[in-house]
Structure 1
Amino acid sequence: MENILVSACLMGAPVRYNGKSLGLQPQDLDWLKQHFCIKTLCPEVAGGLPVPRAPAELTAHARVMDNTGVDCTDAFVRGAEQTLAFCRAHHIRVAILAEASPSCGSSVIYDGRFSGTKIAGQGVTTALLRRHGIQVFSQHNVAELKQCLRSP
């Protein structure tokens, strides 16, 4: 069975900035378990960030800043690199990462001004994984992954 990376927070681990987790829809989790060997990792924790931590957003200048003004870009890049190494070590070609995160967002991220506004974009980890040929989906588009597997 092929390995897949799923963000640790989507599997219930309390690793988000606020010390909480997210989750997958039960039917999506059941389907993933039937078709993949699930491997989990949190890129932000892998990059050395604590739990909990200040909320962070990717700015227009490609820096990751937290809401106290601290530049955490290096930790986010380190986490992305650790995630890529993890994917390579486990022969992972597909990932499901948490949408809107400055690490994991696959189609939307927050606007970098802490306004609560989402914009089109991708997180630091998603961008690196995609540059290296790893397909990235979010918890909101598992149906697209299912469709990809059905297509020849």
Structure 2
Amino acid sequence: MYIISACLAGVNCKYNGGNNLNKEVLKLVQKGKAILVCPEQLGGLSTPRLPCEITYDSNGGLKVINKEGEDVTKEFVKGAEEALKIAKLVDAKIAILKARSPSCGFGEIYDGTFSGEITKGNGVTANLLLKNGFKIYTEENLEELLLTERQEEE
């Protein structure tokens, strides 16, 4: 069982009210192999919502702020914790998450300036899942996982 960012399966939970439909990801859901989560909604944020990015305070502590400068770290942390609870309930060990998202980004996220610049790092949920032993993929590096899926089906 996988947990998957709901936006990748076509759920309109993206910050702007849209989605990031990925047909390969949707196939996994349709086969009953995945549970969908939107950590930002699970944390209590609305859809649509202001764009958010990760930044760091003067002590190096992680903060998530929206485009108007409001601190929404608490909601992102709560959403990550809820996504982890769901993943554990269904005994998932693999997550397929939305690249560069402040919740789900893995390896690269936006740099906190709202300029479109990318930096190394992980989103809040991706980081929590990693600390709990999950294998993380994004829609951009799925090929290895999908190849394994196809081999298991044959």
Kindly provide the CA deviation profile for residues 16-60 of structure 1, in whole angstroms up to 9, marking residues without a partner as x.
110000011x34543x35876111010000000000111000003
Quickly say closer, same or farther: Cα 1:70–1:123, change in 2 above 3 A. same
Where in structure 2 are the equivalents of 1:111-126 lying within 5 Å?
111-126=111-126
Instruction: For residue 39 of structure 1, give the secondary structure of its aligned residue in structure 2.
Output: strand
TM-score normalised by length of structure 1: 0.89
Where in structure 2 are the equivalents of 1:2-151 lying within 5 Å?
3-24=1-22, 26-27=23-24, 29-30=26-27, 32=28, 37-61=33-57, 62-146=62-146
| Alignment gaps of 5+ in structure 1 | none
Aligned-pair RMSD on alpha carbons?
1.8
Equivalent AA in structure 2 for residue 12 of structure 1: G
Quickly say closer, same or farther: Cα 1:146–1:119, change in 2 above 3 A. same
Give % identity: 39
Q: 2:8–2:25: 8 Å Cα contact kept in structure 1?
A: no
Q: 1:43–1:125: 8 Å Cα contact kept in structure 2?
A: yes
Q: 1:4–1:36: 8 Å Cα contact kept in structure 2?
A: no
TM-score normalised by length of structure 2: 0.87
Kindly provide the CA deviation profile for residues 99-152 of structure 1, in whole angstroms up to 9, marking residues without a partner as x.
0100000111000011110111110000000100111110111113246677xx
Q: 1:56–1:66: 8 Å Cα contact kept in structure 2?
A: yes
Equivalent AA in structure 2 for residue 111 of structure 1: D
- In the alignment of these two chains, the number of paired residues is 146
2:111 and 2:92 mapped to 1: Cα distance? Answer: 30
Segments of 4+ moved more than 6 angstroms:
none
1:51 and 1:27 mapped to 2: Cα distance? Answer: 24
Q: 2:126–2:136: 8 Å Cα contact kept in structure 1?
A: yes
1:88 and 1:112 mapped to 2: Cα distance? Answer: 30
Q: 2:52–2:66: 8 Å Cα contact kept in structure 1?
A: yes
| Alignment gaps of 5+ in structure 2 | none
